[in-house]
Each structure stands twice: as structure tokens, then as C-alpha cells.
Chain A
Amino acid sequence: AQSVTQLGSHVSVSEGALVLLRCNYSSSVPPYLFWYVQYPNQGLQLLLKYTSAATLVKGINGFEAEFKKSETSFHLTKPSAHMSDAAEYFCAVSPQDTGGFKTIFGAGTRLFVKA
């Protein structure tokens, strides 16, 4: 069965510092992978998506993620944190091999940005 694990329920960084949010997945074949962001009292919105076209995926707001098959990871990074990046981030996996319609979400990582 597919699963996704986000390491760290809370991450705190200083403004201008590197942001690294970790995501590992379990899947028998490389799945589609997503990062979504949720701002307070809002629904989730897509940051970026991996669809096997390129291992380094660039998203909105300066975020990017690298698909590493050998490590079954899809970590999210941003070189310089901004106060507006404070939000909850969800990694999600959609299996390609089942023909189903279910996306599995991680538990989420809340990012705090200190001035």
C-alpha cells in the first residue's frame, strides 16, 4: 500500500534562511507526487507537482522539490524564507498503477518563520 511520511510536524526557520521540508513515500512504482500549501482558514492549493518529466520540479513562490527514486524522497526547499511562507505544507502521493482515484496525504508540516 502506498503511504507518505512527512518528517517533523513543525519546522521553524528565520527569515532569509533555507527552508527544507521532508517527505518520503512508499510505492511499488514511482507515483505522481505533490506539495500543497494551506494558509490559515483556507483550503489547500498546489505548490508543485512531479509527473516523471523532470526530477527537479519548480513551483510557485520560489519553492522547488527534487524527486529521488533511490531515497524515495520528494523534499521541498526554498533558498530564502519569507514571512509570508508561514503555513502548513502537505506532501501527497497519487499512485499510477492502480487506476484508482485516491490521493494519499501526509500529516502535514507547519512552517514557522521568525523575523
Chain B
Amino acid sequence: NAGVTQTPKFRVLKTGQSMTLLCAQDMNHEYMYWYRQDPGMGLRLIHYSVGEGTTAKGEVPDGYNVSRLKKQNFLLGLESAAPSQTSVYFCASTLGGNTDTQYFGPGTRLTVL
């Protein structure tokens, strides 16, 4: 099992550009999450999904969109990147809800110039 994988690992964007981050899990987990990690702030939830075809907003959803067309994939989109979106992005998944162990991907380091 690969667990949770994320692509790309690194990306540099210019302000206003768009991109999509891909998260894939092979554990048949129902729930998937996107977080951003910034120094001194821990992890903050951007969006999450409780199953195929569903998405919901987390703590910091503005400027991001998500889609869960297939159970194993959870996509995070930035329509018009801003420097404030420079961060490390982590995807995670759980079998059940938030009381289950979260399995994290290795992260995507995004820089917006």
C-alpha cells in the first residue's frame, strides 16, 4: 500500500495563476481532508469530504475549491493564487470520522510569488 500520496511535491506560481493539487489514497477511506501548515499555526483545515461526491468547508476555505469525483482522489484547486497561499499543503484520510487516526501524505510545498 502506498497510503496517501500527493502530487506535485513542490510548485512555484505567480500571483493570479491557477493550479490543482492531487491527493490519492489506496486504503478505501471514506473521509479525506486538505490542510495547510504555516509556521507557528499548526494545521488548519481548508476543506474536507465525507465520501465520494461530497465536499464541505473547513476553517480556511476562501480562495480554494475541491472535488471528490472518485473515492480515492481528493483535488484541491487554487483558481487565482495569491502570496498569502504560500504554504505547505497536506492531504489526510480517515476510515471513519475525525475520531479515527488520520493518515497524512508527504505534503506539497507551494510558493506564490
Contacts and interface: CB of A to CB of B under 8 A. Distances in A.
Contacts of B33: 101
Interface stretch (B11-19, B77-85, B101-109): B101-109
B4 A100 contact: no
Interface stretch (A12-20, A67-75, A78-86, A104-112): A104-112
B102 A46 contact: yes
Contacts of B42: 90, 105-108
Contacts of B45: 102-103
B90 interface: yes
Contacts, number: 60
A94 B106 CA distance: 22
Chain A interface extent, by class? 20 to 34
Contacts of B53: none
Contacts of A107: 40-42
Contacts of B105: 43
A100 B98 contact: yes
B99 interface: yes
Contacts of A77: none
B104 A101 contact: no
Contacts of B35: 105
Given A43-B106, A43-B107, A101 B98 contact: yes
Given A42-B107, A43-B105, A46-B101, A9 B40 contact: yes
A94 B99 contact: yes
B62 interface: no
Interface of B: 4, 31, 33, 35, 40-45, 48, 50, 56, 58-59, 90, 92, 97-99, 101-102, 104-107
Interface of A: 9, 32, 34, 36, 41-46, 49, 51, 90, 94-96, 100-103, 105-108
